[in-house]
Chain A
Amino acid sequence: MTVTQTKGSAAPPAPPAPPGGRRRPNRHPDNAWAAILLAVPFAGLVIFYLWPLLRTVLLSLSEGTAFTGYTVTGFDNWRQLFEGDDVWRALVNTLVYAAIVLLGVPLAMVIAALLHQKGLRGRSFYRTLYFVPVVTMPVAVAMVWRYIYNGDFGLLNEVLDSVGGPTRAWVADPDTALYAVAVVGIWMALGTNLIILAAGLEAVPETLEEAAMLDGAGPIRRFFSVTVPLLTPSIFLVSVLSVIGSLQMFDLLFIMLGRTNPALADSKTIVYLFYEEAFVRNDRPLGAVIALVTLVVTLAVTAVQFRLQRRWVTYA
């Protein structure tokens, strides 16, 4: 009833109220409330997202310093950024990092399926265990992994040494640093991914599993033919979140590599580059360009993921 009325009042092109004339009485006091309640989040959107975005665009076209003020001059910063190698290398590093962290999704699926097994004892204990890295400060996580990866005294090298494996300075070696950090990224994201996938698993109807069992499907076959297809919406969500998170990676790299690391030049991500330009070299306009590049890349990658989902995601 209310809905039809609302539609009815909105449908005819409302003539602008004549100035000074008697306004049409508002027949729907709820509308006023709706407008007020909508205005709050809308104001938030404008103040915290649209306005800063506009300012960032303007800043990216400006020259100046914080004290002299910034004046819009044109596309010099964009040209400067794209003529150098730094941004390309950082983009490649960021995408490589995101791709590796994406490998954590199948891993999370396997663990989620194992935890979902009937009759598993101590399930909440394991879930808590896997969730701990999520609620731990990234700085603390990074510090601990720095010790594990330490080339001279690290735990990882001790273990590898005892089994005759290769040892090296994992986060100080340009060949391995980015991968070593990505492993920590996977580990940190595992908890969140598990929770989402576990919820998806709960939603898989048991009757389907049972039917497949009656048809003679073993556990592996059931997992791939019944569970995974029904889980694809959750997998998709987890993948999108994972990739967006990885594209913004900064803290782990900043703490684990430090400032005088020989591997730094080959491992910088796009947000790291942003930090360097905007906050170390105080070049805010160039920083704004990098921030916008990050935004565009994130949008593009996410759009690709949404396009691809039509091919593999099944909504039951």
Chain B
Amino acid sequence: MTTPQNPSATQNAGATQDPSPASVTPGTSGTSGAQGPPALRPEQTRERALAVLAELERVIVGKRGQLTLVLLGILADGHVLLEDLPGLGKTLLARSFAHTLGLHFTRVQFTPDLLPQDLTGASIYHQKTGEFAFREGPVFTQLLLADEINRTPPKTQAALLEAMEERQVSADGVTRALPSPFVVLATENPIEYEGTYPLPEAQLDRFVLRTRLGYLTAELEADMVRRRLDRGAQRPVPNQVVEPAELLAMSASLEQVEVHDDVLAYVVALVQATREHPKAQVGASPRGTLAVTQLARGAAVLAGRDYVTPEDVQQVAVAALGHRLVLRPELWVRRVSGEDVVAELLGRVPTPSTRVFDRTGAAR
């Protein structure tokens, strides 16, 4: 896979797929009809999102829920962490998303000897000109598959922090913007797996959600093998459904989704409950609150609504908050996870009341 080499081409780094649409930023896609597509309404976003999911399901069997979560993460302008054992389709999922969304795709296999410069790029001395020139690393792409990210030491993992949060890379005193959209789909083996470095909390917090693929049921696994036998040795490649610019417009349409004050209070109460839970040493961050809210807006759009309900919050809360919790050490041996804690809280934290109360406490 080629990587854009032109340092000044941060606005059209997805040249191999579709350079011009990628230059549209979320802030302008909805308002500037001359440069980008017209602003999408939530129902249009839903229509395209369902088409994307349908195309992905043609390739990836029986993972509708996980595919939906990953798409919600991308629509929320976030990065997604896929955690599971090898052989469950994590890499296929990332590659399929890149194809379906028309994004420039780069895959980096994280190994113990990978250096930060291998990711971000480095200045190289040019003998003819006698000057140093910056050569962009694989992070200059639109969809970066960070495969087995926890196989590399924390120093290299941390090289992604600025890229993920700020969408830029600072090297040799120069800050270079990354292409837009920029999505990191990282895969990791479970922590107990041999030869892994647990991701630091700061790195985990950068991911808008974490999900696990899990094993297929016997019937679905047989179906998957049957499809493989039917198509022969040819690799399954999904068709492109949307342009990168459309994807940006889809993300921007989430801003039209209303979040009622009571629903917002519910989200905040849920996050605060993670900080007060006796099993948690560190609860979810305010970034987690934002993540839940934005993901819930996406879930509302997929459900055909332009307002968020507590159901939307509950649909995304476990994936959005579970990985942000640091549990007490004594719970690790009991296989209690952050996801378990959030799931428990969903049953306890009160959802908004049925009646609407005004400031005097009277029902309206």
Query: Do the two chains belong together in a single complex?
Result: no
Residues of A that sit less than 8 Å from B by CB? none
